[in-house]
Amino acid sequence: MSAPENTRILLGITGGIAAYKSAELVRRLVADGCEVEVAMTEAACSFITPVTLQALSGRPVWTDLWDDRARGAMAHIELVRGRSLMLVAPATADFIARLATGQADDLLSTAALARDCPLAVAPAMNRQMWEHPATRRNVERLRGDGVEIWGPDEGDQACGETGMGRMLEPERLAEFVARALRPRLLNGLRVLVTAGPTFERIDAVRGITNQSSGKMGYAVARAAWEAGAEVTLVSGPTALVPPPVARVVQVESAQQMASAVNAFVPDIDIFVSVAAVADYHVLNPSEQKIKKDAHILTLELAPNTDILAAVAALADPPYCVGFAAESENLDEFAEAKRRRKRLPLLAANLVQEAFGVDDNALVLFDDEGRHPLPRASKLEQARQLIAHIARRYQPA
Ligand code: PMT
């Protein structure tokens, strides 16, 4: 993610089996450029040793309220000052209960009370403990106190049962951390993003598609989510895990994508059309697999609706952002496309540099001119695009 400079995170670990995943979380956060200080409860040390966390964070781990590193100050105060975020992962039912009632009888619970930074917890417990009215009550109380609750997830549990209560995977938690550290540039706005290719059926097993991987569109959806938007992602077929946005709608053909977009358009503020939508579909696709024979096979193709142009032409359109993939004359073709589709903003990229790869170089075109974004990861490009949208967007 590449964290903002001087990001200092306090990671609290409490005593649950998911504590082993905290090691990977520390590794990821450090790789992302965060300084991570780890504090563990006594029970957590029964699941994973402080030495492991020390090796991964590169800093001695705090386990004791009376730690003499505090040098005259108090450990719980020393720990929380100057932090960007305090995250407790895993957070057991017991820790959540103690937090909800404001108890302060060990290093972590005391630090949580003494902090002046945001606090997030990643619950991890047996499904029945999670569903117990006492836990529900405690979680709601924490929410009311402004504590962010990240997860839990549903799935197989260490106890052999299946249900809600798994700690979010470290990769997902790292995404939540990235979001917590970024400005809420689109707070409360509803953003619709299309991503990936479409697949136009020829017969039961064959179809026409393109080389879009979905990476750019998924990055835009994630960047909008990080910026505080309520994001709907309409995706063609990809191999990617979607970001934790409000809703994800999987579609196959351009026609299905158009229907999904049209269903959401009345309730959105911003539409970002990143998908590489097929311009044509096959007339009369075969229900069965077409048999090979000696004759030339001719496919009849009919044009698809231009989803973006249709949305932009509405009487009261959302703020529409198009993408243009060009193989030559990028500026000229992209600006012509922007004007033809009547878009306030268009992001252009070169076909040969953008499809399938992890980084990209976008040039943004709007009424004020041309704004090149230097080559970077698709997530960084998406964040810059979202910042540009936030500067230009004007509520109707
Ligand atoms: O998915 P990746 O591998 O990460 O690659 C990213 C990308 C190259 C696909 C992406 O950056 C990109 O350029 N997307 C737009 C590709 C495209 O189809 O461009 P276009 O010039 O054909 O279409 C222009 C705009 O109209 C696009 O916003 C497109 O979503 C939209 N469109 C096009 C045709 C159609 N029938 N309906 C549409 O909405």
Per-residue pLDDT for 8 more than 90? yes
**What is the pLDDT averaged over residues 369-375?**
96
d(CA 113, CA 222): 31
d(CA 61, CA 71): 16
- CA dihedral 334→253→361→28, nearest 10 degrees, is 160
What is the reported pLDDT for 81? Answer: 87
Which of 274, 321, 331, 345 most suits a substitution to test ligand 1, by most atoms within 8 Å of the C-beta? 274
Instruction: Supply the CATH classification number for the domain 8-181.
Output: 3.40.50.1950
Q: How confident is the model at residue 66 (pLDDT cuts 50, 70, 90)?
A: confident
Q: 194-245: per-residue pLDDT in tens?
A: 999 999 999 999 999 999 999 999 999 999 999 999 999 999 999 999 999 9
Taking residue 343's Cβ as centre, other Cβ atoms within 10 Å add up to 24
**What is the pLDDT averaged over residues 181-189?**
96
In this structure, CATH architecture of domain 190-392: 3-Layer(aba) Sandwich (3.40)
Nearest to 186 by CA among 231, 129, 146: 231
pTM score, two decimals?
0.94
Taking residue 17's Cβ as centre, other Cβ atoms within 10 Å add up to 15
Q: 272-320: per-residue pLDDT in tens?
A: 999 999 999 999 999 999 999 888 999 999 999 999 999 999 999 999 9
What is the reported pLDDT for 22? Answer: 97
Mean pLDDT over the full length of the chain: 95
**What is the pLDDT averaged over residues 185-189?**
97
**What is the pLDDT averaged over residues 383-387?**
98
Listed by start position, the domains of the chain span 8-181, 190-392
Point out the ligand 1 atom lying closest to the alpha carbon of residue 325.
13
Q: 99-138: per-residue pLDDT in tens?
A: 999 999 999 999 999 999 999 999 999 999 999 999 999 9
Point out the ligand 1 atom lying closest to the alpha carbon of residue 307.
39
Which residues surround ligand 1 with Cβ inside 6 Å? 212-217, 254, 273-277, 279, 304, 306-308, 322-325, 337, 349, 354-356
The set of catalytic residues is 159
Per-residue pLDDT for 357 more than 90? yes
What is the reported pLDDT for 1? Answer: 59
d(CA 256, CA 263): 11
Pairing relation of β-strands 363-366 and 345-350?
antiparallel
Query: Do 218 and 256 contact (CB within 8 A), yes or no?
Result: no
**What is the pLDDT averaged over residues 365-393?**
97
Pairing relation of β-strands 270-273 and 319-326?
parallel
Sheet holding 190-195, edge to edge: 247-250, 230-235, 190-195, 270-273, 319-326, 345-350, 363-366, 369-372
Domains 8-181 and 190-392 share a fold: yes
**What is the pLDDT averaged over residues 141-162?**
93
d(CA 271, CA 343): 11
**Amino acid code (one letter) for 344:** P
